[in-house]
Amino acid sequence: MPAWLDQLQPASFRGVPFQVDSIEHTAGDNVVIREYPFQDLPTVFRMGEGAEEIKLSAYVIGDDYFAQRERLREVLTGDGVLIHPTAGTMRVFVAGKFTIKENPTAEGGIARFDLTFVRAEVRRYPTGVVNTQKSASDKAAAAKAASVDAFESGFDLSNKPGWAADRVVARVTDSVSVVWGNMSKVTSGLGDFSNAAIGNYQALRDGLSSLVRQPRLLGNAMGSLFSLPTDLSSAAARDFAASFQGMFDMGSKVARRDFETSVMPLVGGGLVMYGTGSSTGLGLDTPARRQLAALNDASDQLVESMALAGWVQAIAATDMTSYDDALALRATVNAQATRLMLRSSTQAASDGLPASSWHDAMMAMLSACLADIRDRSRDLARLTTYTPDGWEPVWLVSYKLFGTVAYADEILDMNPHITHPLLVPPGKALRLMRHD
C-alpha cells in the first residue's frame, strides 16, 4: 500500500464527517497586467496574495444518508474548522451557496455536495482603539461645566439676610485667594499662559463684588483658574496635579467666619454667662444660618469639583512611573470623587434645576479616569525597595525576597551601584520589581 494512503484523513466540517471524491485548491497572487502599444512585454503588477479557494466534491452515503445530509447542511454556513483529507486542519469560511445532488433511481442512498470554502486568514482591517487619556480629559471638561450648572442653581443671594450675604462674599473672596495661592506657583514662567492666568485672576478679584450676584459668570470665572496649558510636559502636569490636589478640601483651607461658628468655652475655661457651656440653647439652627451653610457648601463644592476635574486632566497628561504610582493615583481620584458625591447626596436639593446632572458628570469622569489609569498601567512593573543589613550575595537577596535565585540578574540590572554580585552593599536601598 502506498505510504500516502496512510496519511489521508477523514474529511469533516465543524465535526460533521463526509466523504470526498475530488479536491480542487486554487491559490496564488492577484496580478494586474498592463499592455502598451509598441511594447513586446506586458507590465505586471502584483496586488498581493489572493484568497485560497478549496472546492470539494463530497458525498454522504448509507441507509441513514438523509440524517447525514441534514446534519451537514446545518453546519455549512459561516466559518469553522475543516479537516482536509490531504492538507489537514484549517479554518475556512463557507463561500456562499452550495449544491446538493441526489439520483434515487440510479444511486440510491447517496447525496452529493459541491462545496467551496475560502481559507480564513488573520483579519488585516484596522481596529479602533479608545484614547483613554482624551476620554478622561473630555469627561473632566464636562464635569467642570456641570459644576458651574450646579453652582448656578444652588448659589442665590437674593432674599438672603445682609449679614449672610456679607459672610458668603468674604468666604468666596478667601476661596479665590487660596486657589490663586496654589495656582500661582505652577503657572509662573509659562509665557502667554501665565499672562492669561494672571489676567483671569485679577479680573475675578476686581469684579467679585458684582459676580457674586451672577453665579454662572462667577462659576466660569472660577473655572478659568483651573485651566491647563495645551503643551504640557509630564513633569509640569504632575506639578499642576499636586496644586489641584491641595484644594481637594476647601472647607479646611478657608476658615469659617465668627458669625458662622460658635465656640463655647469649657466650664471654668472662660466667661460663661449661664449653663454648662453647651451651644444648644443659643439658637444657632436658624433659617438664615441654614441658608448661609448651603451657600458656603455650594461655593466649596464648585472649587473642589473644579480641582478634581483639573487633577484628572493633569493626570491624563502624565506618564505613570510604576504600578504602585498607578494604584496611588487610582486611590486618590476614587477617594475624592466618592467624598464629594457622598457629601452632595446628604445636602438639601437646591431650589433651581441645573441644566445638567452634576452627579452623573462626576461619575462619568471618575469612570473615565479609572479606565485610563487601568489601561496605561497594565504593562507597568510594581516596584519596591529592600535595604540589606550587611554584605550579601545578590543570589541570597533574591532568595530571601522571592524564594528563588532566578531574579538575581534582574536585581543587578536595576541597581548599577552593585559592583560585584557577591558584595551587595548594606545600608543602601535596592530598587526591585515585585513578583507577588
User: In this structure, what are the phi and psi dihedrals at residue 86, rounded to the nearest 5 degrees?
Assistant: -115, -20
Among candidates 141, 142, 245, which has minimal Cα distance to 186?
245
Lookup: cell for 14: 465543524
Cell 464629594, residue? 340
Q: Quick one: pLDDT band at residue 1, thresholds 50, 70, 90?
A: low
Q: Quick one: pLDDT band at residue 334, thresholds 50, 70, 90?
A: very high
DSSP state, 279?
G
Lookup: cell for 24: 480542487
| Alpha carbon distance 116, 181 (integer Å) | 75
Residues in CB range of 12: below 8 A, 6 or more apart: 18, 82, 83
User: In this structure, what are the phi and psi dihedrals at residue 129, rounded to the nearest 5 degrees?
Assistant: -120, 130
Q: Residue 17 CA to chain centroid, in angstroms?
A: 47
pLDDT at residue 366 is higher than 90:
yes
- Would the CATH topology of 8-119 be identical to that of 383-433? no
* Residue 344 near residue 301 (C-beta atoms within 8 A): yes
Among candidates 148, 151, 133, 208, which has minimal Cα distance to 177?
208
DSSP state, 407?
T
Q: What is the pLDDT of residues 277-301, one digit of tens each?
A: 454 544 556 777 777 777 888 888 8
User: Across all residues in the chain, what is the average pLDDT?
Assistant: 83
Among candidates 181, 197, 185, 201, which has minimal Cα distance to 229?
197
pLDDT of residue 365: 94
Which residue type is seen at 174?
D
pLDDT at residue 256 is higher than 70:
no
Q: What is the pLDDT of residues 78-114, one digit of tens each?
A: 888 888 888 888 888 888 889 999 988 888 889 999 9
| Alpha carbon distance 316, 304 (integer Å) | 18
- Helices vs. strands in the chain: H and E counts, helices first: 14, 12
Lookup: cell for 180: 490663586
| Alpha carbon distance 271, 265 (integer Å) | 7
pLDDT at residue 259 is higher than 50:
no
User: What length is written for the chain?
Assistant: 436
> In CATH, what class is 8-119?
mainly beta
| Alpha carbon distance 327, 87 (integer Å) | 51
| Alpha carbon distance 73, 67 (integer Å) | 10
pLDDT of residue 351: 67
Q: Quick one: pLDDT band at residue 263, thresholds 50, 70, 90?
A: low
Q: Which residues of 33-61 are buried (b: 16+ CB within 10 A; e: fewer)?
A: eeeeeeeeeeeeeeeeeeebebebebbbb
Which of the residue ranges 33-42, 258-267, 329-338, 396-405 would you say has the lowest mean pLDDT?
A: 258-267
Among candidates 232, 380, 260, 245, which has minimal Cα distance to 316?
232
* Residue 340 near residue 304 (C-beta atoms within 8 A): yes
| Average of per-residue pLDDT across 220-226 | 88
Please tell me which residue, 239 or 45, carries the higher pLDDT value: 239
Most confident of 111-125, 260-274, 313-327: 313-327
Q: What is the pLDDT of residues 143-184, one digit of tens each?
A: 999 999 988 888 877 777 777 777 878 888 888 888 888 888
Q: Quick one: pLDDT band at residue 262, thresholds 50, 70, 90?
A: low
| Average of per-residue pLDDT across 291-320 | 87
| Average of per-residue pLDDT across 223-249 | 87
Among candidates 50, 138, 148, 66, which has minimal Cα distance to 102?
66
Q: What is the pLDDT of residues 372-415, one digit of tens each?
A: 998 888 777 677 888 998 999 999 999 888 888 888 998 998 89
pLDDT of residue 219: 87
Question: Beta-carbon neighbour count of residue 128 at 10 Å?
Answer: 5
C-beta pairs of 1-7 under 8 Å, 24+ apart in sequence: 7/86
> In CATH, what class is 383-433?
alpha beta
| Average of per-residue pLDDT across 304-316 | 92
Q: Residue 79 CA to chain centroid, in angstroms?
A: 34
**H or E stretch at 144:** helix 132-154
Q: What is the pLDDT of residues 174-217, one digit of tens each?
A: 888 888 888 888 888 888 888 888 888 888 888 888 887 888 89
Q: What is the DSSP string of 39-52?
A: -SSPEEEEEEEPPP
pLDDT of residue 269: 54
Lookup: cell for 419: 559592583
pLDDT of residue 339: 92
pLDDT at residue 266 is higher than 70:
no
pLDDT of residue 124: 54
Q: What is the pLDDT of residues 22-47, one digit of tens each?
A: 888 888 888 888 888 888 888 888 88
Among candidates 414, 418, 419, which has minimal Cα distance to 428?
418
- Listed by start position, the domains of the chain span 8-119, 132-376, 383-433
C-beta pairs of 73-80 under 8 Å, 24+ apart in sequence: 73/100, 74/16, 75/13, 75/14, 75/15, 75/16, 76/13, 76/115, 79/120, 80/13, 80/14
pLDDT at residue 254 is higher than 80:
no
| Alpha carbon distance 395, 421 (integer Å) | 8
Q: Quick one: pLDDT band at residue 128, thresholds 50, 70, 90?
A: low
User: Is residue 158 classed exposed, middle or buried when 0-12, 13-18 and 19+ CB atoms within 10 A define those classes?
Assistant: exposed
